[in-house]
Amino acid sequence: MTIADIDIDPDSSTDAHLAAAPVPSQSTYQTRVADYWNAEENPVNLELGKIDDLYHHHYGIGTVDPSVLDGETDAESDGRRDRITAELHRLEQAQAELLASHLGDLSPADRVFDAGCGRGGGSVVAHLRYGCHADGVTISRKQADFANEQARRRNIADKVRYHHRNMLDTGLATGAYAASWNNESTMYVELDLLFAEHARLLRRGGRYVTITGCYNDAYGRASREVSLINAHYICDIHPRSEYFRAMARNRLVPVHVQDLTGDTVPYWELRRQAGHLVTGIEETFLDAYRNGSFQYLLIVADRV
């Protein structure tokens, strides 16, 4: 019997009630990923989250308000810096809201699953939108502890919980979830293993959503830019076609696909001008989007 075979009470309120997993990581690579996120203190994640205590680990979509660049041209000017930070956070929040809007017709009694939840912003967005219960899973103990503290501060810890678990083998209850998602976390795992776990967790007719960067098969093999992004984030970006093949093998049927590439370019154009937040990968993302080798997709699927 594996952890995935053990039925867990979905109403249990603490991580201790989950099936015991010896170590969340399943390989040396996953241990390195966990180490990376346990050590991560990137301002582009932390400074944006401080605005309203919604911490996201993904990128943004939408049209940039050009007025945030008005005035001082010095990127270290407090007013300009604060405006850019707030605008980037607004775009990231718009991305989270778009994903949440595709989770289906949820009620406060429903449960949702946030795979690779990071510091927890997406689960909070879903809860605030639908009133539903949310379980987030991250391979990083540091992230899980941080996210649970945020839930306590918001007085929603009875509805929104975060667990130090592997999203490929969660120990959560089979068929207990009305919806589940990955927001820019699929590139850290094998898609067949990931979608098998989502299919196990979702009830029949449940909804799965992902927003992800993927490389464009029509371009050919992964481009130089995609390889640089992989190296920067210690990840393995999948080809677009593999998402649909792996979904088909795991009872997930796409019902909506949206190319968000054009919608995310303004975010990256603004971020490269944020001297206090740049990570050095901004131009690479823009080059990859513009040469057609990399795409930013929303995929919505039903569990059949």
Q: Which of 55-59, 69-73, 273-277 has the lowest mean pLDDT?
A: 69-73
pLDDT at 8: 39
Q: In Å, how far are 212, 223, 238, 292, 295 from 218, measured between CA atoms?
A: 17, 11, 13, 9, 11
17 within a domain of the structure (yes/no): no
**Shortest CA distance to 289 belongs to which of 268, 304, 270?**
268
Tokens of 262: 């054009």
Whether pLDDT at 22 is above 70: no
Under 8 Å between Cβ of 285 and 226: no
Asked if the structure places residue 1 within a domain, the reply is no
DSSP per-residue string spanning 137-188 = EES-HHHHHHHHHHHHHTT-TTTEEEEE-BTTB--PPTT-EEEEEEES-GGG
> What local confidence, expressed as pLDDT, does residue 74 receive?
56
Owner of token pair 């309120």:
13
In degrees and rounded to multiples of 5, residue 62 shows phi and psi of 120, 175
Q: How high is the mean pLDDT of the chain?
A: 91
CA atoms within a 13 Å half-sphere pointing along the CA-CB vector of 181: 30
Q: Give me the domain span that covers residue 72.
A: 31-303
- Count of residues for the chain? 304
Give domain status of residue 21, yes or no. no
Query: Higher pLDDT residue, 193 or 6?
Result: 193
Q: Is the pLDDT of residue 12 over 80?
A: no
How confident is the model at residue 42, as a pLDDT? 83
- The percent of residues in the chain predicted with pLDDT above 70, rounded, is 90
- Whether the Cβ atoms of residue 160 and residue 133 lie closer than 8 Å to each other: yes
Q: Point out which residues pair with 209 in neighbouring strands.
A: 181, 300
Q: Does 223 have pLDDT greater than 60?
A: yes
Whose tokens are 């699953």? That residue is 113
Say whether pLDDT at 280 is over 60.
yes
Structural domain includes residue 286: yes
The CATH number for 259's domain is: 3.40.50.150
Scanning the structure block, which residue is given the tokens 């810096």? 81
- Residue 259, burial from CB neighbour count under 10 angstroms (0-12, 13-18, 19+): exposed
Taking the whole predicted model, whether its pTM rises above 0.85 is answered as yes
Q: List phi, psi (to 5°) of 267.
A: -60, -45
Q: Are 117 and 54 in contact (CB under 8 A)?
A: no
Q: Please state the domain count of the chain.
A: 1
Question: Quick one: residue 205, left, alpha or beta (phi over 0 = left, psi -120 to 50 = alpha)?
Answer: left
* Three-state SS at 131: coil
Domain contains 87: yes
Which run of H or E residues covers position 126?
Answer: helix 121-130
The reported pLDDT for the residue numbered 73 is 60
Does 18 reside within a domain? no
Question: pLDDT for 81-132, tens place per residue?
Answer: 999 999 999 999 999 999 999 999 999 999 999 999 999 999 999 999 999 9
What confidence tier does 44 reach under pLDDT thresholds 50, 70, 90?
confident
pLDDT tops 60 at residue 9: no
Segment 27-43, tens digit of pLDDT: 999 999 999 999 998 88
Question: Half-sphere exposure (CA, 13 Å, Cβ side) for 15?
Answer: 18
Q: Is residue 9 part of a domain?
A: no
Q: Could you read off the pLDDT of 143-202 as tens digits, one per residue?
A: 999 999 999 999 999 999 999 999 999 999 999 999 999 999 999 999 999 999 999 999
Residue 16 lies inside a defined structural domain of this protein: no
d(CA 255, CA 122): 22
Q: In 3D, which of 224, 217, 208, 221 has the Cα closest to residue 242? A: 217
The Cα 18–Cα 57 span in angstroms is 25
CA dihedral 193, 8, 207, 292 (to 10 degrees): -30
**Residue 72: per-residue pLDDT:** 63
Taking a C-beta distance cutoff of 8 angstroms, is the pair 191, 166 a contact?
Answer: no
User: Residue 78: which pLDDT band, with cuts at 50, 70 and 90?
Assistant: confident
